[in-house]
Amino acid sequence: MKPITAPVPGHLAMVPFVSVAHMMQLVNQRGIEKVLHELADMIEVDFKRWPEFDKSARVAAHSPDGVIELMPTADADNYGFKYVNGHPKNMKEGYQTVTAFGVLSSVANGYPILLAEMTVLTALRTAATSALVAKYLAPKGAKTMAMFGNGAQCEFQAIAFKTLVGIDTVRLFDIDLAATDKVARNLANSGLKVVKCHSGQEVVEGAEIITTCTADKQNATILTDNMVGSGVHINAIGGDCPGKTELHRDILLRSEIFVEYPPQTRIEGEIQQLGKNHPITELWRVMRDEIAAPRNPRQITLFDSVGFAIEDFSALRYIHACVGQGAPHELLDMLADPDDPRDLFGMLLRADA
């Protein structure tokens, strides 16, 4: 699936916009499992060409209430960025904890070629990335996943792991029982066996994969060393800013740790609890077969996920390709583009006339 690398023909100054309604329509028309498969394929392609990208840790503005971030990256053809917030208190006030939008542009002329909502899309790309990584790191034949935190990401993760990894059972735990009930309702027709648990110790029983996905902006140990047996894969997607962790440090010391972009993960991920020289492995090297995936069945593997801009770039690239195939969108008049590029003022005068 290749993106168009220039604005839509005939509308050189018009930018395709995929709204929340468009995104939901796109996912429902294609089917969420197909979308997750295609997103994972796009992310894997881009991870395998990791050295081609301009990379930097995201630009973050932290406050006592949360964080607002910009996540930029570029290859030779396209530039992309995502605006995203994370405000754990929002749920109590009737707002989303995380919202986002993104832009994809042509490097050749700097024109935006896509504006898209990324609140739904981020949940999809996060789930697709988690499951893609688990294909490399999780125990072969894993069938059961434990989910700590049953908020907005939970169902996406469960369906992605069913679709890409082959789990058939998801065990749920959240201190908010209503959140667990919500997930159980939403997954009732997913083909997954859903087990509601009442403690952290209970939820990990029999699980080969453990996903941690909590929102509080604090160091909160929700997974302790005694809860994690040998051979488990941990998908730690909740810790994503300085001072926000979910795993006890001793778990990290027992695990082989895999990350997206070390300069960002060392600041925001679980490994902020470790020294700067503690060994970690970059996932793109595993996907390019530069480093072998773990083969010891007793090895604990840990994906210390914080989300990186290349994953968002892949997601925007995917949506842009879908738009090129006729996916729902509208065209926005975002760019001032006079007939004579030097006469921007004249365009303003003519508009008044």
- Token representation of residue 320: 């842009």
Within 10 A of 278 (CB to CB), how many other CB atoms are there? 12
Q: Using CB atoms within 10 A of its CB, is residue 118 exposed (0-12), middle (13-18) or buried (19+)?
A: buried
CA 40 vs. chain centroid, Å, equals 11
Neighbours of 186 (CB within 10 A): 15
Active site residue 216: no
**Options 240, 339, 340, 352, the catalytic residue:** 240
Residue 309: burial class (beta carbons within 10 Å; 0-12, 13-18, 19+) = buried
d(Cα 121, Cα 248) in Å, to the nearest integer? 30
Alpha helices in 208-278 (DSSP H): 249-254, 262-268
Catalytic residues: 240
